[in-house]
Amino acid sequence: MINQRILAINPDKTHTRIAVYENTNIVYLKTIRHKEKELEKFESIMDQDDFRTDIVLRELKDNEIDLESIAIIMGRGGLVKPVSSGIYEVNERLLEDSRKGVQGIHANNLGAIIADNLANELPNAKAYIADPVVVDELEDLARVSGNPMWERKSVFHALSHKFVARKYAKANNVNYEDLNLIVVYMESGVSIGAHHRGRVIDVNQTFDGAGPFSFERAGTLPAGDLIRTAYSGNYTQEELFKLINEESGYKAYLGTANPAEVEEMIRNGDEKAEFISNALAMQIAKTIGGKYTVLKGDVDAILLSGEPFHCKRFSNSISERVNKLAPVTVYPNEDVIEAMAMNGLRVLQGEARPKEYK
């Protein structure tokens, strides 16, 4: 009997993605899409934990996945307290802070909870998270906002950043901790981090929309205009957050948040689509340039990661602006679910020792 498999669980707003790995080989992969009618009966997304747990468990059984073979369950880490980079065994403190959403409520917060629920059902499994979005390694200079009322925070795609940085280091036969890297990761938002010898010392706060705009997020906006809009009486706080984080970027300018559709528009001669795409590329390049100064011009490589970089036109539109700063390497296939699973494998193989969340 195989008892060294890894189950990875990545809950998102409208779906839950799961995968079963055996070593580095994927055994099963499924995106479970939740119907709107199924979700609307829950007052909060955090009330969906039992519902999603039951669906995942049923999916595994229906596809004849031997539950006794699963030794590690990796859940996506959410908006808990700031932590150092690493793998954390799920404990009561982590569960409590995930439920509360001490830095905000997001579907990712369900990751640790679902993993723990399943670990209680599976006979040989333990639940973990790795590099949650609140990994905080900022240098003190990066925390200064411009007014002492506010401090810049570290909320970004830490899991994907660390995974692609280690992959680059391994491919070049060096240690991640010996490199200076600028890592870009694109998902619903864009996070760009300055990695100095294994620590992300500066990164844009992706969750609240700072940095470049993206497919549905506004990015950093003109502060005065944003304040005037907030007090215009046209939006509630919730509506304004939704506008900035879900109804902006490509979606607002072009009517779609799907980058593949935008590329199709460009191929069909849509000049506005090309213009907005080039604006996004320029914003990303400008932010890369800023991280270059943070690292004092000592940069080993710039890594562009995430599915949108399958498009060579888009990748090239960024690379041509920054390739004089450092060599550019593109990782278009980087997947959160794989990053989670490979962190689980590090635990199984004794390469990483889980930390305690306090």
Q: What would the pLDDT profile of 171-212 be if each residue is shown by its tens digit? A: 999 999 999 999 999 988 999 999 999 999 999 998 887 999
Residue 114's pLDDT is 98
Cα 322 from Cα 221, distance rounded (Å): 23
Instruction: Please check whether residue 59 lies inside any domain of the structure.
Output: yes
- Whole-number average pLDDT of the chain: 96
Q: Where are the alpha helices (H) located in 12-152, listed in sequence order?
A: 36-39, 49-62, 92-100, 110-121, 140-143
For residues 55 and 173, state if they share a domain: no
For residues 347 and 219, state if they share a domain: no
Given a cut of 60, is residue 239 above it in pLDDT? yes
CATH of the domain at 54: 3.30.420.40
Mean pLDDT for the stretch of residues 289-318: 97
Residue 39's identity, in one-letter code, is: L
For residues 298 and 155, state if they share a domain: yes
Kindly state the DSSP code that residue 44 receives in the 8-state scheme: S
Residue 211's pLDDT is 96
Instruction: Please check whether residue 332 lies inside any domain of the structure.
Output: no
For residues 71 and 114, state if they share a domain: yes
For residues 161 and 193, state if they share a domain: yes
Instruction: Please check whether residue 123 lies inside any domain of the structure.
Output: yes
For residues 58 and 181, state if they share a domain: no
Residue 162's pLDDT is 98
Cα–Cα nearest to 168, from 345, 304, 337, 349: 304
Cα 81 from Cα 135, distance rounded (Å): 9
Given a cut of 90, is residue 325 above it in pLDDT? yes
Question: Tell me: the pLDDT tens digits for 271-280?
Answer: 999 999 999 9
Mean pLDDT for the stretch of residues 233-259: 96
Residue 17's pLDDT is 96
For residues 89 and 164, state if they share a domain: no
Instruction: Give yes or no for a contact between 98 and 33, defined as CB atoms under 8 angstroms apart.
Output: no
Instruction: Please check whether residue 101 lies inside any domain of the structure.
Output: yes
CA angle at 242 for the pair 318 and 74, rounded to the nearest 5°? 70
Instruction: Please check whether residue 331 lies inside any domain of the structure.
Output: no
Residue 3's pLDDT is 65
For residues 39 and 184, state if they share a domain: no
Given a cut of 90, is residue 255 above it in pLDDT? yes
For residues 45 and 145, state if they share a domain: no
Instruction: Please check whether residue 169 lies inside any domain of the structure.
Output: yes
Containing domain of residue 246, as a range?
140-326
For residues 194 and 272, state if they share a domain: yes
Mean pLDDT for the stretch of residues 23-32: 95
Token pair 């998270």 is found at 129
The model's confidence at residue 1, banded by pLDDT at 50, 70 and 90, is: very low
Mean pLDDT for the stretch of residues 60-65: 96
For residues 118 and 157, state if they share a domain: no
Q: How many domains does the chain have?
A: 2
For residues 75 and 157, state if they share a domain: no
Instruction: Please check whether residue 276 lies inside any domain of the structure.
Output: yes
Residue 137's identity, in one-letter code, is: E
Instruction: Please check whether residue 34 lies inside any domain of the structure.
Output: yes
